[in-house]
Structure 1
């Protein structure tokens, strides 16, 4: 049931963006009929998408609202600053870590009064966690409807490193706990199979082209020494002291290892230069033995392997550490961090309407629709009143890389509010289709074979449990809206680190220590230790705010 009148005047809320640094999806503007159209910018998009799939149409049918999605030009980071300079703002903005810029410029509105008046669904979704949406002790307003699950559990993980099932099977399913173990497996298999399908076998291939370097070069550095994903930071759980990760005394271990395997010919020499399509094509060929990228980043290549009869060339997910003194943090319980979310701009002509739409996206009705799809098409309800998907639907969801695009299922969960994969509805049924049973049902036969060889039922069984790792006191720093000066310092440092790591990893092993020490000096000269102190203060303020 719609909560607005589909009056033509309400369409005044629509604001189209123009400019060289960000793009709207208006080149082929869909016809939304008499629906109210809200423009929405999202920092994560890198291509035009349209609010026209079956789930999107159902959202419009139920709410009377449609979205026009806008995004930065691929690789550009100036979209938000351009908005602020031009004053041209879309109705809704998902700015990720640049939210602070919008708040400081007065470009987005506080939502407190709207939450109090219209936010019944939002209050129910977040419960006592809504306090974590507050901006800061000095400015305790709520500016965003939060992203990410409120109640979540880790049921799937890509691990810190991945390796082909074919490698493990041929080598007799060896113990792989450390980078040295992983390296030995690559080395032994390449000696046995220098070529695969007529092409040279590649040991480890990385994707470090643009933003992907954070995923494939930065994150493994902290994962392999036992620290979870806090963006570019490492946070001491006892003291809450933050440190720019590349100043940590142990993070060099992963990069020294990369330097070694590069010298030994086990690292893809194109790792620092290849584009994403080239990297994916290598994976799809079956000749890349190891990767360190989450499954969501190479789904098409994985599907290609499966469809071409090379299931054994897909990957096992392993808890690999630099040495056995640390624990893989993949199953860390972060709690709910607040932080990132969707804001309403000051230019929106009807902020009440925009907020009502966002509040509806918090509702149980919306959560079920976005996660499960349309009843009778994507799922049915059994005699026990539980939602179930057919075997065909589950297979399509697991193997068709275009499933979300075709059906809309799962496509509009992020960056909108999410109850989380541990949440249940008013009938006690899971809000999301993800469960232990559904995950196991979607495993390939080769996955089950590998897991059985290691005495496990699920991949997460190979990893330290959440109980062993403890609950994060501060959430995750990468979801924080950081002060602009800290963001600027980190951006500059990240650019320096990315460039220097390429030289360090590809350099001579005998030069590693000298080059690494020089990088440390540069980071100190750039005052990254001072940035850590500022963030430490912010983290402690956040924790105090949450506990009030």
Structure 2
């Protein structure tokens, strides 16, 4: 899925984790801070910069010439020539394989298995052992989560997510306008019933906002975002963590295609009722992304169920228009009080996706040294904070962002792209948002104190009314939730051409079409349509899909345990 990158949220979702070199409870780089930082390769950088081609499946059109990029080139001798999937196309990797023409570096996301099977990417184990000091220090005892499979436990990719997790924000939950909370006297909203009641009451009070029809809830189900605004919120409401299309038993690894679960039926039946009552935007399954963002930017959409990174443009537009009160607060909404919201779930290092080096590159060692340097303390400070004297200064031994820089971070959607600050965190190797450097300072710009300082006035007012400092205070806390031993199933590398890949695609096509129809149908028809969908899934081989995914998950649990011959 193509993400619109921006410093404010990238620094939060790109890996909100405490860095540990070789243990689970440390917070800084392993070793004596006074010893030589393993961060810089002993090999000299090229006398003249070398251009490495880089395909980024989540990339966007941009040249590698911003101030941070220039500093990266100075340190590594590398200039990146970045390509990306034009128009959201997912055919780029198959075309690479068909032609045998690979860029030097590849971020393939879930298509890495195809590249491995085709021999298109290098195994990195020897390079990591021989010259990967930074990567070894960064991943520590979680390095096994980079491994490919039990049959082929090699490491083919590094990066994408931070190594240890510490949430300061949530994303993907239901979100409601701050103005709705204020107008209704700051009610407690933790169930779908309370959520619906709040939207109904406010919409009856204000049927129009800024001269346009009020939209109590708007979704974006017309493209791949169906998965994040329609499918995923159903799982959150049912008390499940985000495992993509799966519900997985954390102890046994048993996997079930999630739309078979009763909680999903209950959620979509509720959404069908919302539509019948006129509380759901009637264009939720037809409008484009631009139209969706335009509606939210107008201030007339009272609530959404979406990832923060998908809402950047609308948030900035609302702020620019002086409508901070129309921005959103996240809600720990579930089907009922018996369900526990998993928004602060600790997945550990997610593994799965990362950047690979092609088997055809003429610059294998330089490409690897570049990736290893990106894991160094020097690089992590640069990509997170920018350039000393330009983006931050040292005050009493601590990095402090210039006021105008932090202001632009929080309000200007183009800041990251123009300056490079925050732009090269994802999908490169990264320590995690909670990591500290060798001097004990946060490696990223977002600490609890900074998140509080960055809050809009309308947010601070609402939080004060609820007696909270952060929105995460509203959610079940991380130490109350079981740590995931399998990471996040959405990031599993699915073998190309496997039953999982083939049957899941078939199942996903069925559920997206049939659930959309059921939501928009007359409520009297919902059960019949749902039952028909279940029959279609059975005929498509969903039982076989569950068996195969269970086996894959159990294999990953074994692989990540280090118990591999």
Matches for 1:263-274 after TM superposition, within 5 Å: 263-274=276-287
| Structure 1 position 5, deviation (Å) | 5.1
2:523 is aligned with 1:509? yes
Counterpart selection for 2:115 from 102, 124, 130: 102
How much does 1:497 deviate?
Answer: 1.5
Question: Which 10-residue stretch deviates more, 229-238 or 388-397?
Answer: 388-397
Segments ≥4 residues shifted beyond 3 Å: 1-7
Query: 2:28 maps to what in 1?
Result: none
> Which of 77, 85, 89 is residue 76 of structure 1 equivalent to?
89
With structure 1 as the length reference, what TM-score do the two structures score?
0.93
Deviation at 1:38, TM superposition (A): 0.6
Give the corresponding residue for 1:23: none
Q: Which moved more, 1:342-351 or 1:492-501?
A: 492-501
Aligned partners of 1:73, 1:391: CA distance in 2, in Å?
36
2:185 aligns with one of 144, 148, 172: 172
Which whole-Å deviations, capped at 9, do the CAs of 1:210-239 have from their partners, x for residues lacking one? Answer: 221111111101111011111111111232
Give the structure 2 partner of residue 471 of structure 1: 483
State the alpha-carbon separation in 2 of the partners of residues 408 and 254 from structure 1: 41
Partners of 1:297 and 1:304 lie apart in 2 by 13
CA contact (8 A) 2:172 2:233 kept: no
Q: Note if contact 1:159-1:319 (Cα within 8 Å) is conserved in structure 2.
A: no
Residue 456 (1) aligns with residue 468 (2): yes
Deviations 1:402-450 (CA, angstroms, capped at 9, x unpaired):
1101211110001001100121111111111111000000101111111
Q: CA deviation at 1:139?
A: 0.7
Are the aligned partners of 2:435 and 2:443 in contact in 1 as well (CA < 8 Å)? yes
User: Is 2:186–2:466's contact at 8 Å kept on the other side of the alignment?
Assistant: yes
- Show the counterpart of 1:546: 560
1:427 aligns with 2:439: yes
**Aligned: 1:386 with 2:398:** yes
Residue 176 of structure 2 corresponds to which residue in structure 1? 163
Residue in structure 2 matched with residue 416 of structure 1 by the alignment: 428
The answer to whether the 8 Å contact 1:108/1:343 transfers is yes
> Which runs of 5 or more structure 1 residues have no equivalent in the other structure?
8-33
CA RMSD of aligned residues (A): 1.4
Name the structure 2 match of 1:87. Answer: 100
Q: Give the conservation status (yes or no) of the 8 Å contact 2:159–2:354.
A: yes
Find the residue that maps to 2:262 and give its secondary structure.
coil
Report the CA distance between 1:281 and its aligned residue: 0.8
Gaps of 5+ in 2: 1-39
Secondary structure of the structure 1 residue equivalent to 2:87? coil
CA contact (8 A) 1:370 1:410 kept: yes
Select the residue among 446, 451, 463 that pairs with 2:458: 446
The equivalences for 1:327-406 within 5 A come to: 327-383=340-396, 385-406=397-418
* Cα distance between partner residues in 2 of 1:368 and 1:489: 44
Which of 39, 43, 46 in structure 2 is aligned with 1:6?
Answer: 46
* Corresponding residue for residue 24 of structure 1: none
Structure 1 distance, partners of 2:159, 2:405, is 30
8 Å Cα contact 1:280/1:298 also seen in 2? yes
**Of the candidates 75, 100, 117, which is equivalent to residue 62 of structure 1?**
75
* Cα contact 2:252–2:554 (8 A) shared by 1: no
| 2:193 maps to 1:153 | no
Alpha-carbon distance in 1 for matches of 2:539, 2:44: 56
Partners in 1 of 2:444 and 2:267 — Cα distance? 36
Confirm or deny that 1:308 pairs with 2:287.
no
Partner of 1:277: 290
Equivalent residues, number = 520
Deviation at 1:461, TM superposition (A): 0.3
